Amino acid sequence: MLDLQDLDLQLDQVAHRRRSLPEHQALTELTAEKSVVDRDLVTADTEVSDLQREQKKADTDVEQVRQRKARNQQRLDSGQVTSPRDLENLQHEIGSLDRRISDLEDAELEVMEKLEAAEAVQADLRTRAESFAGRQAELESSRDAALKELDEQRAQVGDQRATIAAELPDDLVAQYEKLRERNGGIGAAPLVGKRCMGCRMELTPSDLNRIKAAAPDAVLRCEECGRILVRTSESAA
């Protein structure tokens, strides 16, 4: 029975190690961080796309005004306009177009600067997103290797447990498993001296006398914790 208890504790330890692998926590943290970066990257992609459209529009606006100025300048230089009033109006319009071009170029430059900054942020986020993929692959590989090793241990111990459990009465194993579930994984404990090693309580003299009088194959229970009590060479009873 104590051998069965020991193997069950080993299985519990394996299960705990499987749940507590550092790779689990690292992957959880990585996933959370990656989620933030992915969200920020979507925002950055949208901003870059919007600024690219804005720059394209700014380029188009500047080019249209330049073309209009060039046509007016060509008319002015060709001598086709002879009326003093028309010449004055044409020169005034060219001056207005020059100021308009200057304003549009300033706006165009501002958009270009914003776009350059947004593209830098976008590139940094993409680099981080790519590094996450590599780190995730490393962690998953390490986790899978650790899980494989633990699963092999679990299978080996499980086979040993099955062999030992098969040698014990079914009703005793069933009783032990219920006690184990109820008592934090310990369903059977040795009696060392006068003490139950399950609850660490000393047995009373009457309980010790009862144990001494019990048959060698009797199933004994600790009166304090209810666990199956197993006599050993170190028992006082």
pLDDT at site 87: 86
Most confident range (mean pLDDT) of 86-90, 130-134, 149-153 is 149-153
pLDDT of 32 reads 95
* Amino acid type, 155: A
Percent of the chain surpassing pLDDT 70: 100
pLDDT band at 162 (very low <50, low <70, confident <90, very high): very high
Spatial separation of the C-alpha atoms in residues 207 and 209, rounded to whole Å = 5
Predicted pLDDT at 72: 87
Does residue 237 register a pLDDT over 80? no
* Window from 100-104, 148-152, 213-217 with minimum mean pLDDT: 213-217
- Considering the chain, tell me which residue range(s) the CATH 1.10.287.1490 domain(s) occupy: 2-166
| Rounded Cα distance, 229 and 3, in Å | 13
pTM of structure: 0.69
pLDDT bin (cut points 50, 70, 90) of residue 140 is very high
Q: SS3 of 132, please?
A: helix
Region 62-73: mean pLDDT is 93
Amino acid residing at 162: A
Number of neighbours of residue 139 by Cβ within 10 angstroms = 19
**How far apart are the C-alpha atoms of 95 and 101, rounded to whole Å?**
10
Least confident stretch, 66-80, 166-180, 195-209: 66-80
The answer to whether the beta carbons of residues 34 and 133 sit under 8 Å apart is no
Res 110: pLDDT? 96
User: What are residue 164's phi and psi, to 5 degrees?
Assistant: -70, -40
Q: Match domain 2-166 to its CATH number in 3.40.50.720, 3.40.50.2300, 1.10.287.1490, 3.40.50.620.
A: 1.10.287.1490
The one-letter code for the residue type at 118 is: A
> How far is the C-alpha of 20 from the C-alpha of 15, rounded, in Å?
9
